[in-house]
Amino acid sequence: MTRILVIDDELINHQMVARALDPLQSEMHFATTGREGITAAKAFHPDVIITDVVMPDINGYEVTRILRRELQFAATPILILTAQTGLQDKIKSFEAGADDHITKPFDPAELTARVNSLLRRIDAAKAALAMPIAPDGARMIAVQSLRGGIGSSTLAVNLAVSLAGLWRKPSILLDLTMTAGQCALMLNLSLRRTWTDIAHFNHAELDSEALQSIISVHESGLSCIAAPTFPSEAESLPGETMRSAMQLIKDQFDYVIADLPHDFSDPAVQALDLADCILLVAAPDVASIRAVAAALDTYEKLGYPKEKIKLVLNAIFPHSSISREKIAAAVGLQPAVSIPYVQDLFVDAINLGQPPVYFQPEEHVSGLLEDFAFLLSKDTDKKEKPENPTETWKRVYKRYQSRKK
């Protein structure tokens, strides 16, 4: 039975919330002050916490912040239910670590729907973490370009969705562009929980439950950890905590796709060190080729074998005087794949938060990316037909068969 804790100094609100949530047939507990609510949470271990803002001792924002600092409540959904109706009040709720915000007076059906949504999100994250992991461990793919604006994040998002769709195995996208990451936006996911929310954990105490609290799950089944909402927040995340988090993730997922920043900052190097494959993205222009040369030089100095690196050409404009052959000769690396120019498709996909491989799989470029995802998959997955092939796998196989004819 679902356990719900309500923290509110008005007893009438206890009754109203209980009546609204009656369809859930939950076990209800109540507290009338913030500190009493924190004590009750520790004793009761609720599945969901609903708290008011204005209370006699400490307010609901502070209650939320205190609970979030406790490892046992890192993943517990917290909903702030308040008479404060301003936009800034809503922002304060999310900044404190709340998962949702509803204003009073509330609609009973909406409150029930919001609580149900929070419970489903937690169940989905638990299910993703509970799926069996292959004995050969995770395959981690890092996507990087030292030049911005050429589609690295778009590539990372669509490959991640494709891998999740191909194998139905635990797959996660890590947005490591800490100052301006947009992966959550591209998936139309909430930014309520990000890497910042584990910043207060010591690396030694970080565990699966804490990680689960910052994982969002896309409708494709892909898990995702979003970059901080504001660049200033990235500074609060210790390098050791990030390193422990990435190692934990590699232990719990079959496929890990990391979208890296356009530099060699600590998170980028940590991901590059752990990666089995580095996708170096380039556009067919001189500035991009120069950036590729600089990246390859740095990879060599970091000791990465050349076979670990794959060059991806992405045509971000209709025409270029620099051919694929000239680029390969200039950087000493043959492109693994060339993504053609597609007018408006990827821009529309970003604006709508709808990756083409999931929402427009019939598009030629979607098929190209699905095929590339298959190529990047584990050998153990590629060599045998799945017992229950997914629609993504069937599309890849059909294209493979047509090319053989």
Domain presence at residue 366: yes
CA-wise closest residue to 183 among 355, 359, 311: 355
Domain presence at residue 114: no
From CA 63, how far away is CA 191, in angstroms rounded?
A: 20
Structure tokens at 54: 């204005």
Domain residues for 384?
134-404
Handedness of CA 161, 234, 122, 256 (dihedral sign): positive
Residue 280, beta-bridge partner list: 144, 311
Q: One digit per residue, pLDDT tens: the chain, 405 residues? A: 889 999 999 999 999 999 999 999 999 999 999 999 999 999 989 999 999 999 999 999 999 999 988 878 877 899 999 988 788 888 888 888 888 899 998 999 999 999 998 888 777 666 665 655 656 789 999 999 999 999 999 999 999 999 999 999 999 999 999 988 899 999 998 777 889 888 878 778 788 878 888 888 898 999 999 998 877 777 778 888 899 999 999 988 999 999 999 999 999 999 999 999 999 999 999 999 999 999 999 999 999 999 999 999 999 888 877 889 999 999 999 999 999 999 899 999 999 999 999 999 999 999 999 999 999 999 999 998 999 999 999 999 999 988 876
Find the largest Cα–Cα distance for the chain. Answer: 76
Residue type (1 letter), 189: L
Based on the number of CB atoms within 10 Å of its own CB, is 306 exposed (0-12), middle (13-18) or buried (19 or more)?
exposed
From CA 32, how far away is CA 100, in angstroms rounded?
A: 20
Same domain, 313 and 168: yes
Domain presence at residue 154: yes
CB neighbours (10 Å) of residue 2?
Answer: 15
Domain presence at residue 176: yes
From CA 203, how far away is CA 244, in angstroms rounded?
A: 6
Same domain, 148 and 242: yes
Same domain, 63 and 174: no
Domain presence at residue 112: no
Domain presence at residue 129: no
| Total count of domains within the chain | 2
Same domain, 292 and 162: yes
From CA 286, how far away is CA 65, in angstroms rounded?
A: 49
From CA 375, how far away is CA 367, in angstroms rounded?
A: 12
CATH code of 58's domain: 3.40.50.2300
From CA 79, how far away is CA 254, in angstroms rounded?
A: 32
**Token pair 């502070």: residue:** 62
Same domain, 352 and 223: yes
Same domain, 59 and 171: no
CA-wise closest residue to 242 among 302, 201, 298: 201
Q: What is the pTM of this model?
A: 0.77
What pLDDT was estimated at residue 135? 64
CATH code of 347's domain: 3.40.50.300
What pLDDT was estimated at residue 97? 84
CA-wise closest residue to 373 among 279, 268, 271, 308: 279
CA-wise closest residue to 365 among 139, 178, 207, 151: 151
No. of helices (H) and no. of strands (E), the chain: 17, 13
Same domain, 81 and 183: no
What pLDDT was estimated at residue 193? 80
Reported in sequence order, the residue ranges of 255-340 that DSSP labels E, i.e. its strands, are 255-259, 277-282, 309-314, 335-339
Sequence-distant (6+) residues with CB within 8 A of 190 are: 184, 216
Domain presence at residue 168: yes
Q: Cα–Cα–Cα angle for 18, 214, 105, nearest 5°?
A: 30
Same domain, 216 and 352: yes
Q: Are strands 309-314 and 335-339 parallel, antiparallel or unpaired?
A: parallel
Strand, coil or helix: 257: strand
Contact 33, 9 (CB under 8 A): yes
